[in-house]
Structure 1
Amino acid sequence: MTAFMGVPTTDTVLKAKDYASDQEVRWCPGCGDYVILATIKSFLPELGLRKENMMFVSGIGCSSRFPYYLDAYGIHSIHGRAPAIATGLAVTRPDLAVWVITGDGDALSIGGNHLIHALRRNVNMTILLFNNRIYGLTKGQYSPTSEVGKVTKSTPMGSLDHPFNTLSLALGAEATFAARALDSDRKGVTAVLREAAQHRGTAFVEIFQDCPIFNDGSFDVLRKEGYEQRLVPLVHGEPIVFGTDGEFCVVRDGFGLAVRPTSEASDIVVHDAHTDDPEYAYALSRLSDQDLTHTLTGVFRSVARTTYDDAARDQVARAQADQPTSDSSLQQLLLGRDTWTV
């Protein structure tokens, strides 16, 4: 059962250009959102779905302009509330492929409650969180993912807040699918999107994305010389080994995981994204830190669980089947045994 089971497919062979809207793309020059947009437009034809049955819902922020730039249906909604609106669509319209486009400020500040409950409920939608660790649209305040000590317009002496570990948050909320990618790694983003598309339930994908105006170079250590010492790629079924020559690895360490030199390790962890053990994926997320010393990318967790929308539709169908048609009129309801005092 895939994420888009029940969504009408198309016989027309689509290309990336078919998803380009007639709107001028208005992000700052050099913004990582351009790369993400191009990657997603190149990926969408793989799904073979009718564009008329694709819905992109966003909140407020730079990332939330995304629906304007795709030739598909979209809603530019309320600050932080995109997961709630997407939940309504997913429950009532099983013929839609529902996507949420959000940012670290939109999703993790005012929208935090909506995000965790969408993940907990396992609503059938794909959530893409663009994380640039800053408020870009409102001109450079610190966000829930900004590092401790971050100097911004709203924290001129440095942020005092401890930032969210976004993947830890998602997994703590019982996410059935959690992944991370880097905007400039088009191959990595596409691979994660491909797996997210196969997942029925809430597929949560964090994408590190550069803001060249208010947080320029925030992820440069993951792109420039020596990045192999910091990027830890996760591939299901393969040992977690990284470095220029595979000189580092991940091993079990008490109740958690740790990074060790491969030459000193006797039991390298083999990544299992499908394990029923939620503590394993959570331990993986804790290896990532705000200094980006170790940054894991790929799919952390992908497990099956009944989706909220499938269960809700089944419950409605059973209620309708159990309701005698002769007593379904408004008059019968008013004359029934239930009473109200006004």
Structure 2
Amino acid sequence: MAIIDAIAAAHGARLTIDLSAIAENWRRLGAQAPHITCAAVVKADAYGCGLAKVAPVLWGAGCRTFFVAHASEGVTARSVLPEAVIYVLNGLVPGSGPALMAHALRPVLGSREELDEWAALRAETGRPLPAALHVDTGMNRLGLTISEALALAGDPIIAAAGIDLLMSHLVSAELPDEAINRRQCEGFAQIIRAYPGIPGSLANSSGCYLGDGIANDLLRPGYAIFGGNPTPGRPNPMRPVIRLEAPIAQVREVKAGDGAGYNARWIASGPRRLATLSVGYADGYPRSASGRGHALVGGVPCPIVGLISMDLVILDVTDAPAARRGGPATLIGDALDVDSVGRAAGTIGYEILTNLGSRYVRHYVGSID
């Protein structure tokens, strides 16, 4: 786009989200194990891409099981997915049971207390809504330990709580040679054997690429659906999903010794040409990318100089002849995927995606309706 459109310019930046790429990425992940059902994790507003827009597209592509983090996210998901199976990953937070029941949401239970509470709620309401059982195989965040889960095998509480899925979470799936992957797979296989007839879910985005050595009946990708690389160190098998462009608000010439931005953290070493973008950390673009990240102007990498401020980013566009007032700079897109932007900011692509700000004008393309 030669010039950012007037509406996007008025709001600071334009975030383009490719819905067809989201659907295709989900299919590609499922194709890694075509004999296994593929679900979708759509927590954090579908990784910043907009749950209300994304979830129906995934349903249209064939996805029938979804995961969110919180009950409130589940309520939103249910409003656009009336027939889907929706699990709430963070479990049965005290007091959340009635809302889960009201919206047919299935908690992922990770303690005996949660099992007891959910079983009691099922009995009290007469609603046989299922739940998943979370077994911790190495993450040490949520879930029963392996020994606790094995001790509960055959306990009437499992049927009373309506457990219809066994779950665990991989610690280092993006590093396939890590020994903990094997230990987790072996531990989860124990659980699967102890609970015959109940399917299990272990494979996250990177776990989809760990091969057949993983005991698994339901793939559970999230990040990779939205364009993140599930195979770090190798070419990304996913299609890019998001593109973030901001208009250049002003271009100026500076001389040697001039500073830029708060506290003059950057000093010009000679005559330079600077461009200021109408976007900042209030939009979710990370302040930690100050002096480390870059944007593309006319395809030319232009370093970020000075401190990123709340609403503005300064680029050195000396080597970018296309830089002009009103012209676009690409902050995510083309050679700048979410993983590389995350690395430049000293973080990960997950954080870049989930921090995408509400001030962006969101433009959806590639609908599969």
Q: TM-score range by the shorter chain?
A: under 0.3
Structure that is richer in strand per residue = 2
Length-normalised TM-score, structure 2: 0.26
Length-normalised TM-score, structure 1: 0.28
